[in-house]
Chains A and B, each alone.
Chain A
């Protein structure tokens, strides 16, 4: 749509601007403020320069948490995106089953995050949970509270359970927007089902899949509640993702300086990655 230039449109945006400025800029400035100061309590602060940033960037603890975070995010993206596309392709296109599928698949998305964590916590307990008991019964030595590998397995399975539906719903929305004429043309040309997927369905889904990847990237990078309820970051520190570590430092130990510096670095990483996704997305839109 060709838009008209109208500077008065700023008045329409003003309420959002004021609210978000109050909500985002003020707290962010607080964080910046803490990140450059040192305190020994009693509200006495000293200028610390960029020393907190240096500390955080050098600390092995931060490197480990960031490494775990990246491992987690890329693993779940690698599983959820292809799986979501496969399920969307296999879903019915017409009839009553469409609604049934959509409603049931959307269920996990509407469950409070701590309930998701608690639910999986119970579900995977080796003694009394269905998953844990079954895995042990068929011969696996499974205990997610003790063994690192099992904790990761449960964590990733939980996230796949929780969020694959988001990818399915998006991919499905892209698929049903393809006109029947495309398929008929492909049939006349004698195209294989792989060719149909590669040259008709995938290009049509590209846009929604970018949104899916963007949303999944942002949300999995911010994930806090589910793993903290499921494993609490353990066993040891083996599932301590960035957010969990940050909350431990900020609200647990009340180390404001390092926590603030870490917050800013953390936020910048997300911002940078998301900016790349966003640029790719809007460039595609401009090309169309």
Chain B
């Protein structure tokens, strides 16, 4: 029985890979092959779908837009969350617990509830259809998450580190930037990974807050699916390309990813 345990994760991974395989294989097929026949492997292997995406600006700009607002969001969320997480992990202050839970409630907020008010708010201050608008909107759920993860990692650092540094004559900002931040570098990496992830996969807010100039790739895809008939090959190629950035970042944080999902609290 012991010998067969490896089967469980293997079958599970096969199950995970099947739809991904189907998407990737479809991206190398022609529309005729997709609609006309049922083939497990691409018969008439083609790169045409990818050529369209890399030469048509409406397609590749979608990727660039997505990467821009995801990056702004990640930097913004982590930088703002860092001092707050430090405060929560080191100090007791008036209303700290309530504040922490209130932050968490924003992680629970359904995007559907916020879509319309965000649209009106950002239109009113004139940042509708900019990368900043999407990045700001995504901080709604990413900042609380970053605070939560960073607080978990910071609580694992003994307080003696802070006290020694203060005795050695470091001021707070000096200590924070020169000593503390390098100490929890892994935690910052994990928090950044999660901000990247949730900003990258979100569509409803990103779609509602953009029109042309900052339109994310995901929105370009939904438009193609509905407007220009059913170009499944193109859709599959675009989908395949959205998997790549995720796969790359997972590889870098593979040893910390579980700890990150446990919000630094294992």
Contact = CB atoms under 8 A, between A and B. Distances in A.
Contacts of A91: 9
B91 A267 contact: no
A110 B16 contact: no
Contacts of A90: 5-9
B87 A104 contact: no
Given A1-B159, A20-B140, A112-B201, A270 B117 contact: no
A23, A130, A176, A270 pick with most chain B CB within 10 angstroms: A23
A216 to B, nearest CB: 11
Contacts of B203: 112-114, 225
A19 B136 CA distance: 9
Interface string A1-33: 101111111101101110110011011101100
B224 to A, nearest CB: 10
Given A105-B13, A107-B16, A170 B116 contact: no
Interface residues of A, number: 93
B66 to A, nearest CB: 8
B64 interface: no
Nearest to A212: B261
A7, A13, A31 pick with most chain B CB within 10 angstroms: A13
B62 to A, nearest CB: 11
A103 B258 CA distance: 11
Interface in B74-102: 80-81, 83-84, 86-94, 96, 99, 101
Contacts, number: 277
Interface stretch (A51-59, A70-78, A143-151, A246-254): A246-254
Interface string A148-184: 0000000000000100111011101110110000000
Contacts of A225: 202-204
Contacts of B247: 103, 107, 110
24 contacts: A5-B92, A6-B92, A8-B93, A9-B87, A12-B86, A16-B81, A23-B137, A30-B120, A107-B247, A110-B245, A110-B250, A111-B243, A115-B239, A122-B23, A123-B23, A170-B261, A173-B261, A174-B262, A211-B265, A212-B261, A218-B107, A247-B115, A274-B105, A274-B108
B185 interface: no
Given A6-B91, A30-B120, A208-B266, A221 B110 contact: yes
A271 interface: yes
Interface in B15-71: 15-20, 22-23, 26, 34-35, 38, 40
B255 interface: yes
Given A128-B232, A177-B266, 20 more contacts: A5-B93, A9-B91, A9-B96, A10-B93, A20-B143, A23-B136, A24-B109, A110-B201, A110-B246, A110-B247, A112-B200, A114-B203, A118-B225, A122-B26, A161-B16, A173-B261, A176-B258, A211-B261, A247-B115, A274-B108
